[in-house]
Structure 1
Amino acid sequence: MHPPDAPGTEPCDWSWETAADPDEVHALLTACDAHQATASGTPAPRRRPETTRWLVESGSVHLLRHTTGPAGMFTLTARPPSGTDESVFPPAEHPLYLSRLAVAPAWLAGGALVGLRCVRQAVETAAGLGGDTLRAQVNPDLRDTCSLLDLLGFTPCGPASADETGRRHAHLHRPLTAPAADRRGD
């Protein structure tokens, strides 16, 4: 597998789709989790195949496919993932939730920009759905992921916390629309 900017890689090598195969999605998700856990020295999250199946069947999983296979994915929902502390976020009328951001380990190791493509697509999709903010939960020990989200306009909300396994998580948000005063030119 080669990085997306390598010679001979054309834009037509990439396509976005609404995921249809829960087994393919779950395999990508758990492979990324295992890779990130090894790289960060933190426990991988426990993923339930039935949750993956439900998210795929609801049309919430967006898959970036390269001609060589699934490269990255994210889930976008109107409902917060379980364990999300809503009280830490600024008020929003129509928040959407980014979760299960995953990149195939071969693309992570190759230095490709698959994660960037996924987050940019999530922001564009959320804005297109009328969301006014995009919220996410992230393991702060995944420094590259946190740096990427920071570069793309996500800011932390509240303190980081840990679950019963010791896996840490932090809440982030990114406004998708300008405040009303900014839109009026005030």
Structure 2
Amino acid sequence: MTGSTVVDWTWETAEDPDEVHALLRACDGYQARKYGSAAPVRNSGTTERRVHAGDVHLLRHDGEAAGMFTLTWDPPFALAPDSFPAATRPAYLGRLAVAPRWLADSTPAGATCVRRALELASARGADALRSEANPDLADTVKLLELLGFRRHGGVLTDGEGRRTVRLQKSFAPAPAAGAEADG
């Protein structure tokens, strides 16, 4: 086609921990500057473990890392028994990050990442997707809420001053086998 541009957005399971960690830190730095907060301290060993476990999903645009998230069955944060509503098989969304270039352009890369996490979690049998977010990152929390996540509990603050809110998106149970449709 003459005069058209093909935009190449692709998903892959991340293989390079250094690339993933650099994207995570770049996003953290951008968000810290935007919201006037401190960037979280990230552990490269955790990044490496998550990449090698196949938990990191990477969105690319024309070959460049544009966004990422982790999807796990084990919570990446400490949980009190009443942290979330009951779920039989919850999955956990973590380390949601978008390259600063795409954040600055208001490209929906973050929404694309969250939608992909929802699709994967549901397809893999999760009945809920849980996440923690910094409430000071208002755009991130708003995005999660727009995509169906609901806050549970108040704002938590740890001993180092990090603030978080807990969010969960519950999936509707699949219809029972043999159930008749309403007519």
Alpha-carbon separation, structure 1, partners of 2:38 and 2:49: 24
Percent identical pairs in the alignment equals 51
Alignment of 1:10 onto 2:10: no
Match for residue 22 of structure 2? 27
- Report the aligned-residue RMSD: 2.1
Given the alignment, which residue of 160, 172, 178 partners 2:167?
Answer: 172
Residue from 50, 55, 69 that aligns with 1:55: 50
Letter of the 1:10 partner, please give it.
V
| Aligned residue identity for 1:46 | V
**Distance change >3 Å, CA 26–CA 127, structure 1 → 2:** same
Deviation at 1:9, TM superposition (A): 4.7
Which 5+ residue runs of structure 1 have no aligned equivalent?
A: 1-6
The alpha-carbon deviation at position 100 of structure 1 amounts to 0.1
Deviation at 1:78, TM superposition (A): 0.2
In 1: Cα distance, 2:130 partner to 2:165 partner: 11
Q: Structure 2 matches for 1:59-138, cutoff 5 A?
A: 59-138=54-133
Question: What is the CA-CA distance between 1:84 and the residue it aligns to?
Answer: 3.8
How far off its partner does 1:44 sit? 1.4
Cα pair 1:139 1:169 within 8 Å, conserved? yes
Task: Give distance in 1, aligned partners of 2:86 and 2:72.
Answer: 17
Q: How many residues align?
A: 178
How far apart in 2 are the matches of 1:39 and 1:19?
A: 27
CA distance in 1, matches of 2:57, 2:32: 23
1:68 is displaced (CA, Å) by 4.8
Bigger Rg, structure 1 or 2: 2
Q: Distance in 2 between matches of 1:91 and 1:82?
A: 17
Q: TM-score, normalised by structure 2?
A: 0.90
1:9 to 1:33, Cα distance in 2 relative to 1, 3 A = farther
CA distance in 1, matches of 2:142, 2:109: 14
Q: Superposed, which structure 2 residues align to 1:140-151 within 5 Å?
A: 140-151=135-146
Of the structure 1 ranges 79-88 and 13-22, higher mean CA displacement relative to structure 2 is found in: 79-88
Check conservation: 1:123, 1:176, Cα contact below 8 A: no
Gap change, CA 1:71 and 1:85, over 3 Å in 2: farther
Shift of 1:72: 0.1
Structure 2: stretches of 5+ with no match in the other structure = none
Q: Which has the higher contact order (CA 8 A, sep 6+)?
A: 1
Counterparts of 1:27 and 1:54, CA distance in 2: 15
Deviations 1:44-79 (CA, angstroms, capped at 9, x unpaired): 111100100000000000000111500000000000
Q: Secondary structure at the match of 1:147?
A: helix
